[in-house]
Structure 1
């Protein structure tokens, strides 16, 4: 079965690796970019290495190349070796070839980098898109090729590779993982680099798994609590105003929150337990007029397929409003809200799609 590997940099901020660990098989960490200057080291490199090492998460590394002259190429080699000194990555160290500025020179800079880093005792590889490799460095022969290819099919459609074989596939740039803020590059690795044995023919095959499930329950102002709607669906208690919301899921994790009518947003919730105040949304006595929900797929549990939550609400004065797919909580206050402020919510529909 392919390994699920993420690649991260300072752009993901301070990662909670203990929270991330159960959801991944390893990580590729950006060490830095360009020439050997301290201000071009990745700001989270040392911490990410330390945390992965402490927690036993297999890790590798990559340097983003800007080398378009022999001098810059040598400086990038020194940059790589300086940041790797004393460290023991279990996964390969990659040369990231994607910047337009290196198109005319990467055919020479990569082999020089590859030989030097390999001579220092590290496994090496090339990261690139198919067209970049085809057009700019068709003659290079890396030990392993990490292919970037997005095709909008949740990573399950075989990418275009020509006659080359890839051992790793970056199929998604907007993955979500607990413990990491924002979107994450997500990859399948088909070679067991710890044992140097191929895992499978490099065509993604979904793991045996069941479809994820969303369970929905509400509390209303006068009629109390509804029964649980297993698998999602519609809940509406005779047009009684909703004062609390509980959502449970399998196959990933969920974030949700509600807006107090005449007030502000309640805290974001990731659990579902009416007996615990921080495990349901709302205060059970105040009417709500806004809902936001986001489902984070765990592809290890869904065979690599990604799901979204589709939801909508019914308000007292406007009826059923339009459908919403996954509120983006990383975008400030969320870019989508179900509801109209000032109009009590009296019904909700939600399911995973």
Structure 2
């Protein structure tokens, strides 16, 4: 059975996550920032994380990429790790790869970027996943990467994503209306028991006993 969640960033402003939880949502994916510099950390990340914890929501995070090489992607991962610090996450840490600047890159370069970013997260003890639109995943991300790493796929206005490989989460709309969020909101469904995975495998700040 799918679990309902949302994803937020500074663009949603002050989100009342207690109301979000009360509306039946179980998790929130929080934008931690973008790019290769800590100055690009999302200005609402710390507050959103604190409020999500207080509301009893499970939490994941994502980092928007502008990288055009594996070295730049690795640097983005380093900054992402710095931004999240020692926090615990019940949901994946995701590599958001969708920028128009990346469309013209070869699939090999995209694959090297995914491996560099996600590999850096895994070495630090995190559960890494890839986020993108279904067509970008299919057309640009090598199959080996989509088999190796979990996928959070975006596809709107459809009964199921037009994506023929496994995925753990689906962002099914960017125009959701959720109590506690002003304006439109991205809404998601999760199909894996991520909190159990993190605790059993000792990932994302949890320690396997």
- Which category describes the TM-score, using the shorter chain as reference length? 0.7 to 0.9
CA distance in 2, matches of 1:70, 1:128: 17
Aligned residues: 191
Q: Displacement, 1:142?
A: 4.0
CA distance in 2, matches of 1:148, 1:18: 25
- Aligned with 1:191: secondary structure? coil
- Aligned with 2:195: secondary structure? coil
What's the counterpart of residue 130 of structure 1?
134
- Give yes or no for the alignment of 1:110 onto 2:110: no
What's the counterpart of residue 168 of structure 2?
167
CA distance in 1, matches of 2:22, 2:196: 21
| 1:187-266 aligned within 5 A | 187-196=188-197
CA distance in 2, matches of 1:108, 1:10: 29
- Aligned with 1:194: secondary structure? helix
CA distance in 1, matches of 2:20, 2:71: 39
Higher helix share: 2
What's the counterpart of residue 317 of structure 1?
none
TM-score by length of 2: 0.86
CA distance in 2, matches of 1:70, 1:123: 19
Query: Which digits, 9 at most, give the CA deviation of each residue in 1:1-46, with x for residues without a partner?
Result: 21001000000001111222112111000000111231x1111101
Point out 4+ residue stretches in structure 1 off by more than 6 angstroms.
Answer: none
What's the counterpart of residue 201 of structure 2?
none
Larger Rg: 1
CA distance in 2, matches of 1:124, 1:71: 18
Residue 143 and residue 107 in structure 1: after superposition, are their counterparts in 2 closer, same or farther (change >3 A)?
A: closer
- Give yes or no for the alignment of 1:147 onto 2:149: no
- Aligned with 1:195: secondary structure? helix
- How large is the RMSD of aligned CA atoms in angstroms? 1.6
CA distance in 1, matches of 2:161, 2:15: 30
Kindly indicate whether structure 1 or structure 2 has the higher relative contact order, using CA contacts under 8 Å at least 6 residues apart. Answer: 2
CA distance in 2, matches of 1:32, 1:142: 24
What's the counterpart of residue 50 of structure 1?
50
Instruction: Note the residue ranges of structure 1 that are not aligned, 5 or more in a row.
Output: 198-353
TM-score by length of 1: 0.52
CA distance in 2, matches of 1:80, 1:106: 18
What's the counterpart of residue 65 of structure 2?
65
- State whether residues 2 and 190 of structure 1, in contact with CA within 8 Å, keep that contact through their aligned partners in structure 2: yes
Query: Which digits, 9 at most, give the CA deviation of each residue in 1:146-181, with x for residues without a partner?
Result: 111113x5xxx122112x111111111101111111
Residue 143 and residue 178 in structure 1: after superposition, are their counterparts in 2 closer, same or farther (change >3 A)?
A: same
Instruction: Note the residue ranges of structure 2 that are not aligned, 5 or more in a row.
Output: 199-209
